[in-house]
Structure 1
Amino acid sequence: MKNKMNALDISLAGMFVALMMIGANITSIVPFMVVGGVPITLQTFFAILAGAILGSRLGSISMMVYAALGLVGAPVFARFSGGFTQILSPTFGFIVSFIITAYIVGKMVEKKKTLNMFIWASLTGMVINYLFGTNWMYFAYKFWAAAPDGFTYKLAWLWMLPPLPKDIILSIGAAFFAYRLEHSVLSRSQFRKINRPV
């Protein structure tokens, strides 16, 4: 794999940054529920796709750019928020987890590009997103954010139940989409010829 990014890499990474912003603010298009301050978004779906389609290196880079863009003040996070103070938000752990998710998903599918691997990689990415994000949220509420009355570790996980079915379905959907794209377009594309996994 090349270390230098070319114009195609930059364009594809930029596309996923834009998709993450859209996924974070899907509420402006389709009203949906916010549970315990956690918006039910499409960000996990796009983070998984970034890893599955772009690979571990470029997928994680695109998620880093998304996080950095939000931290410098661009309104790309959920509810069009942004700024360095977002790092103190109880939900910021989910944003950090997108970088890890894209990297792990990418690493897994780089090793074996079967449908089963795409599905396992996508579900693994979703689990990483939930584990990292929910634990961050719990510790944030315990140590620096104002926790709701009666807040417990169990309650933090109960808040994650409403988006769970959606994320499982979308993760499997991302796996099928990425697999079909890989075997119909990407495997024969200039992108794969330039960006061969190590």
Structure 2
Amino acid sequence: MIVKSKPRYRAIDLTRISIFVALTAVGANITAFAPFLQIGGVPITLQTFFAILAGAILGSRLGAIAMIVYLLLGLAGLPIFAGFKGGLGSVMSPTFGFILSFILVAYATGKWIEWRKSKRLVTFITASFIGLIFNYVLGTGHMYLALNFLLDAGGISYAQTWIIMAAYLPVDALTILAAGLVAPKIHHAFNRRSEGKSTAA
């Protein structure tokens, strides 16, 4: 019988996870620092941006763990969701599906890069848009369910829910493109430091 050992987390892994939890929290409320980032009065967040970077830079496993920690801290009551909100009541929000999707967004983004075994720019950009697809599919699906079955918003259809989300797609696409463009350089810097420390040790 083969017993698989549990993955060990180095201090640097825990530090990087903490960094992305903090960045995602800041990204959730970026309009507090940049009020112009709004569409029709609805604030734009950078949560998806940092969820994608978490997967691209930390890898599928650590990136997903960072988003799980972010989710749990928010549900525990810390005001780290958009609008400085938190607590179990967030589950009732139509946008909670997007928060939940960050776990899969980070995992899918990192997994694509790991599977391709390539550090080319096109790999990171493709991975970023794969993450965005998961974000929209899961987030919009939860929004539809929440509006119809939790909040009784008047029978909005699934197609109408997607029409609502279409208004945000251009900005999100540009944001995710930016994530794909900066990810390779940050990934290289992170790994170069890790390799240097491993060699020194």
Shorter chain as denominator, the TM-score bin is 0.7 to 0.9
State the TM-score, normalized to the length of structure 2. Answer: 0.87
How big is the shift at 1:156? 1.1
* Residue of structure 2 equivalent to 1:126: 132
| Structure 1 residue ranges, 4+ long, deviating more than 6 angstroms after superposition | 191-194
Q: 2:56 aligns with which of 52, 55, 63?
A: 52
> Does 1:63 find its partner at 2:70?
no
Q: Does 2:8 match 1:4?
A: yes
Deviations 1:49-83 (A, max 9, x none): 00000000110000000000000000000000000
Q: Which runs of 5+ in 2 are unaligned?
A: none
Which deviates more from structure 2 when the two are superposed, residues 131-140 or residues 154-163? 154-163
Give TM-score scaled by structure 1 length. 0.88
Cα separation, partners in 2 of 1:53 and 1:143, compared to 1, 3 Å: same
Cα distance in 1, alignment partners of residues 135 and 48 from structure 2 = 7
Aligned ranges 1:9-158 → 2 under 5 Å: 9-31=13-35, 32-33=37-38, 39-111=43-115, 112=117, 113-147=119-153, 149=154, 151-158=156-163
Cα shift at 1:46: 0.5
Contact in 1 for aligned 2:96/2:139 (Cα 8 Å): yes
CA spacing shift, 1:84–1:109, aligned 2, 3 Å: same
Separation in 1, partners of 2:8, 2:170: 39
| C-alpha distance after superposition, 1:72-130 (max 9, x if no partner) | 00000000000011112111100110000000101111122222111110001001101
Is 2:76–2:87's contact at 8 Å kept on the other side of the alignment? yes
Matched position secondary structure for 1:90: coil
What is the alpha-carbon distance in structure 1 between the residues aligned to residue 100 and residue 161 of structure 2? 18
Say which SS state the counterpart of residue 80 (structure 1) adopts: coil
Measured in 1, the distance between the counterparts of 2:142 and 2:68 equals 18
Aligned length: 191
Paired AA for residue 96 in structure 2: F
Cα 1:173–1:11 change in 2 (3 A) is same
1:186 CA displacement: 3.1
The code of the aligned residue for 2:98 comes to: F
* Identity rate, percent: 49
